[in-house]
């Protein structure tokens, strides 16, 4: 336990697995490869890697060092570090924004995790034999209209997530991620090898790694900055909470670098799982979320061993969804536990229970409540707009602004003392690259 009473990660490996699990979500599986192909292939990858190093790593380091120094939930950590630096404890609002962001994302994300589990059940018990495009589209539309199934599978996902958080940092989160993340990685590698022999692998290589600089525009750089910022998981309070469980002898610089590299590698690897089937069977590349739920089942029906492939694929997606949900709701649970002065177990029940209730509204907004609108958007559209365009970039901007310009430099240097040679570059990037870049994302999104 730390001096503040927090649990501590038992090993570097456990922390890395938990953080990568939080960062790697369902969006990484389909969005990163798709955005890469649409923005010039390897030309975009190079720009993304530059943004991940110049923006993603400094943002991640900022959250981790505030979390470790503050030793509590995001609001508590921000207030403690601000006070120590002679600043107002009102900076706690920034940590609170991260908690609100995580909670807001979890409401709609839980439903998508429910979809994955429903498709996993389908893959296990009936499979996708004789699926064609029409059947796949009808099946997905039928799921969106079936409130009972969506609620049940959403609740099953939330019970899994809640059980992990309920058990605590060591017995719950660590034990889960040290099994689930190697499993997910092994499945990604195995499915990629399968695709090497099944067809479409060469086309995927060309799609992802043939640079097309004619597609590189200002929008490409903006897309790369946004992808680097959001895919790493900053601005949601989760990394700050995980940072509070870090021992003092852990190198934040090396940890952040490892997390970003692993996140990027897994996102690229996912491309070799998803897109060979898309190319081989001539499916729609631009299906977005429908690529997973409408297009790939058609490929599973046609490929040799498709029944096994489908089960392994949705297991992998389920792991990605659950570990991300754990990271999102751990920050909310930590704050609730502090605010109410109650146990982790009661806080978990309260947080996961309330998310489950609000997720029902998200479920209904896919069908019978779809036309109930505020500002021209239904519940799901409004929720996504709030966290995507406002909460996430604002939280990230304010954390970078605080650590770069308001936190006492001696305190941030002390947290990065294991690699002092990187302190100067980190502070310079945070002040003069991250702050303006994330401000541009925020302003562009609002406009």
The pLDDT of residue 2 is 47
Torsion on CA atoms 426, 429, 435, 439, rounded to nearest 10? -130
pLDDT tens sequence across 302-335: 888 888 889 999 999 999 999 999 999 999 999 9
Closest CA to 73 of 85, 59, 63: 63
If you search the block for the tokens 């369902």, which residue do you land on? 26
Every domain of the chain and the residues it spans: 12-446
Closest CA to 323 of 16, 21, 30: 21
pTM of this prediction exceeds 0.85: yes
Q: Do 198 and 296 form a contact (C-beta atoms < 8 A)?
A: no
CATH fold label, 12-446? Amino acid/polyamine transporter I (1.20.1740)
How far is residue 249's CA from residue 419's CA, in Å, rounded to a whole number? Answer: 11
How far is residue 325's CA from residue 389's CA, in Å, rounded to a whole number? Answer: 20
* Per-residue tokens: 226: 């946004």
How far is residue 31's CA from residue 19's CA, in Å, rounded to a whole number? Answer: 19
Angle at 135 between CA 131 and CA 136, to 5 degrees: 80
Q: Do 228 and 48 form a contact (C-beta atoms < 8 A)?
A: yes
The pLDDT of residue 287 is 65
pLDDT tens sequence across 227-285: 777 788 888 989 999 999 999 999 999 999 999 999 888 888 888 888 888 888 777 76
Closest CA to 398 of 240, 220, 232: 240
Closest CA to 387 of 27, 14, 12: 27
How far is residue 178's CA from residue 396's CA, in Å, rounded to a whole number? Answer: 28
* Per-residue tokens: 200: 């479409």
Using DSSP's 3-state secondary structure scheme, residue 251 falls into coil
pLDDT tens sequence across 162-219: 999 999 888 889 999 999 899 989 988 988 898 888 888 898 888 888 888 888 888 8
Name which residue leads in pLDDT, 349 or 302: 349
How far is residue 164's CA from residue 185's CA, in Å, rounded to a whole number? Answer: 20
The pLDDT of residue 131 is 85
């Amino acid at each position: 336990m730390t001096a503040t009473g927090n649990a501590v990660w038992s090993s570097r490996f456990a922390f890395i697995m938990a953080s990568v699990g939080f960062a790697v979500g369902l969006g990484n599986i389909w969005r990163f490869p798709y955005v890469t192909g649409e923005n010039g292939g390897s030309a975009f990858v190079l720009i993304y890697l530059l943004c991940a190093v110049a923006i993603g790593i400094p943002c991640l380091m900022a959250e981790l060092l505030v979390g470790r120094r503050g030793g509590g939930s995001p609001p508590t950590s921000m207030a403690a570090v601000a006070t120590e630096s002679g600043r107002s404890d009102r900076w706690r609002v920034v940590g609170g924004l991260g908690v609100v962001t995580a909670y807001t994302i979890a409401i709609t994300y839980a439903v998508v995790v429910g979809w994955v589990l429903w498709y996993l059940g389908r893959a296990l018990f009936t499979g996708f034999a004789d699926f064609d495009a029409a059947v796949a589209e009808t099946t997905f539309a039928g799921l969106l209209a079936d409130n009972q199934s969506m609620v049940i599978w959403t609740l099953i996902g939330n019970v899994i997530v809640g059980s992990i958080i309920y058990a605590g940092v060591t017995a719950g989160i660590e034990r889960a991620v040290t099994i689930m993340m190697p499993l997910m990685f092994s499945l990604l590698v195995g499915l990629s090898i399968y695709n090497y022999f099944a067809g479409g692998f060469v086309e995927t290589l060309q799609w992802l790694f043939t640079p097309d600089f004619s597609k590189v525009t200002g929008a490409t750089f903006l897309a790369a900055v946004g992808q680097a910022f959001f895919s790493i998981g900053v601005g949601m309070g989760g990394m700050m909470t995980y940072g509070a469980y870090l021992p003092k002898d852990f190198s934040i610089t090396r940890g952040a670098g490892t997390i970003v590299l692993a996140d990027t590698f897994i996102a690229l690897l996912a491309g070799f799982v998803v897109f060979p089937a898309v190319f081989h069977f001539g499916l729609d590349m631009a299906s977005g979320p429908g690529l997973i739920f409408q297009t790939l089942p058609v490929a599973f029906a046609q490929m040799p061993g498709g029944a096994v492939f489908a089960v392994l694929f949705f297991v992998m997606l389920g792991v990605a969804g659950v570990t991300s949900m754990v990271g999102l709701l751990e920050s909310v649970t930590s704050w609730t536990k502090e605010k109410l002065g109650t146990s982790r177990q009661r806080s978990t029940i309260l947080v996961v229970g309330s998310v489950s209730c609000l997720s029902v509204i998200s479920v209904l907004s896919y069908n019978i409540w779809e036309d109930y609108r505020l500002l021209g958007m239904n519940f799901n559209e409004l929720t996504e707009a709030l966290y995507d365009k406002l909460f996430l970039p604002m939280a990230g901007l304010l954390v970078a602004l605080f650590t770069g310009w308001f936190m006492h430099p001696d305190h941030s240097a002390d947290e990065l003392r294991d690699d002092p040679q990187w302190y100067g570059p980190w502070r310079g990037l945070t002040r003069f690259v991250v702050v303006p870049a994330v401000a541009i994302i925020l302003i562009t999104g609002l406009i």
